[in-house]
Amino acid sequence: MPEIIPNWHPVLVHFTIGLLLTGTLFYLLALVLPTERLSLEAVLAARWVLIAGGAITVATLIAGWYAYNSVAHDDAAHAAMTGHRNWALVTAAIFAVLIVWEAMRARSGLKASGRVGAALLIAALLLVVTGYKGGEVVYRHGVGVMSLPATGDHGHAAGEHDHQTTDVHEKSTGAMGSTDDGGSVAPDEGDDAGTPHDHGDHEH
């Protein structure tokens, strides 16, 4: 069980994104629906969905913080992870303020507010950017990926590629950077890209 704990963050973050964006959508609908009854129903749904999203976001942040401080990564990935973390903290703080604000308005019996709707829309855009940066951490830098899939002889309809050509190229160049004339070039000892390290080496 412990070895999969970093993977709880991408599991939980789907609920955070889905609930907060859905709550924002319901709130914006409450501002434009033609009847007061529909508007009240939409804002009620928005408030409950946003509260649920805020609650799950607490768990998402905890799991993300654990992953940030535990998964192996290199310097480039560290910069990407830190950027994602900072965006996530700011976005979560904004949503927290808006959720509390709207809960207080609900207790006072107030209807949906255009100002709150505009603020939620901005927060939703920040959430999208945060999610994109999280995707960059995994899909561009490979953070948290335990193994890569084995390549096989297969193609894709759009952008089909030939793995045999890749295999031949790899054999001709060699795994250690061999030259075309058969010589071998040792890897640069100063290049530590991809070397796992912990966060004790960084300032946050």
One digit per residue, the tens of pLDDT, for the chain of length 204 reads 455 555 788 889 999 999 999 999 999 999 999 999 999 999 999 999 999 999 999 999 998 888 787 777 777 778 888 888 899 999 999 999 999 999 999 998 889 999 999 999 999 999 999 999 888 877 776 676 666 666 665 556 555 555 444 444 444 444 444 444 444 444 444 444 444 555 655 655
With a CB cutoff of 8 Å and minimum separation 6, the contacts of 155 are 161, 162
Cβ atoms 82, 124 nearer than 8 A:
no
Cβ atoms 12, 59 nearer than 8 A:
yes
Length of the chain: 204
Give exposure, 8-21, as e/b (b: 16+ Cβ within 10 Å). bbbebbebbbebbb
How many angstroms separate the CA atoms of 180 and 183, rounded? 7
Nearest to 192 by CA among 64, 77, 26, 88: 77
